[in-house]
């Protein structure tokens, strides 16, 4: 069985966040969702678990660092084309997200970046399959 990734994101308003991620084309798995959380299906292997701050604090004994004031991680999401990178970013901005920088075109890779309404950072990106192997392995 392939590994799956479940990323728990602290959000200030679960209903608003559900609408935001649905506007990006992701579905919500209602079986694992409720008033204080929502399970966003990104792919068969990737899920964002949106959790209210109170619920998030139940999962971690560490202090909650709000993504709107401090970064703990950024999420790069692979896309099938440059157009999909643009479509996803533009949908995020239209749904209440914030653009973080202009498109970056390195030839073998094209990317953009946005924040969700809570400040979680995402970097949709596309890599040319033919060129990516040689560029990625230069390390």
pLDDT digits (tens, 9 = 90+) for 68-110: 888 878 899 999 999 999 999 999 999 999 999 999 999 999 9
Residue of higher predicted confidence among 5 and 131 = 5
| Integer CA distances (angstroms), 112 to 16, 40, 45, 64, 109, in order | 23, 21, 22, 27, 10
* Residue 65 is assigned to a structural domain of this protein: no
pLDDT (average), residues 5-14 = 95
pLDDT of residue 10 exceeding 70, the answer is yes
Is the domain of 135 the same as that of 88?
yes
Is the domain of 124 the same as that of 90?
yes
| Integer CA distances (angstroms), 107 to 80, 103, 129, in order | 15, 12, 12
Separation of CA 131 from chain center? 25
Q: Out of 59, 90, 107, pick the residue that ends a domain.
A: 59
Q: What is the model's pLDDT at position 138?
A: 52
Q: What is the model's pLDDT at position 130?
A: 83
* Residue 21 is assigned to a structural domain of this protein: yes
Q: Out of 28, 59, 90, pick the residue that ends a domain.
A: 59
Is the domain of 78 the same as that of 123?
yes
- Grade residue 139 by pLDDT with cuts at 50, 70 and 90: very low
Sign of CA dihedral 133, 90, 76, 29: negative
Percent of the chain surpassing pLDDT 90: 79
* Residue 64 is assigned to a structural domain of this protein: no
* Residue 53 is assigned to a structural domain of this protein: yes
Q: What is the model's pLDDT at position 81?
A: 96
Give residue 44's domain range: 1-59
Q: Out of 59, 80, 104, pick the residue that ends a domain.
A: 59
pTM above 0.75, yes or no: yes
Angle (CA) 32 19 23, round 5°: 110
pLDDT of residue 121 exceeding 80, the answer is yes
Is the domain of 77 the same as that of 54?
no
Around 14, how many Cα atoms within 13 Å sit in the side-chain half-sphere? 19
Is the domain of 95 the same as that of 125?
yes
Is the domain of 135 the same as that of 106?
yes
* Residue 34 is assigned to a structural domain of this protein: yes
The total domain count for the chain is: 2
pLDDT digits (tens, 9 = 90+) for 13-56: 999 999 999 999 999 999 999 999 999 999 999 999 999 999 99
């Amino acid at each position: 069985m392939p590994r799956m990734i479940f990323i728990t994101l602290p959000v200030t308003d679960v209903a608003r966040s559900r609408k935001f991620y649905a506007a990006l084309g992701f579905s919500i798995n209602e079986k694992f969702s409720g008033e204080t959380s929502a399970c966003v299906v990104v792919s068969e292997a990737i899920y964002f678990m949106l959790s209210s701050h109170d619920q998030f604090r139940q999962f971690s004994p560490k202090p909650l660092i709000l993504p709107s004031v401090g970064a703990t991680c950024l999420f790069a999401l692979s896309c099938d084309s440059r157009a999909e990178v643009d479509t996803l970013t533009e949908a995020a901005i239209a749904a209440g997200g914030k653009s973080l920088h202009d498109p970056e075109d390195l030839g073998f890779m094209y990317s953009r970046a946005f924040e969700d309404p809570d400040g979680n950072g995402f970097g949709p990106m596309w890599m040319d399959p033919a060129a990516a192997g040689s560029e990625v392995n230069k390390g």
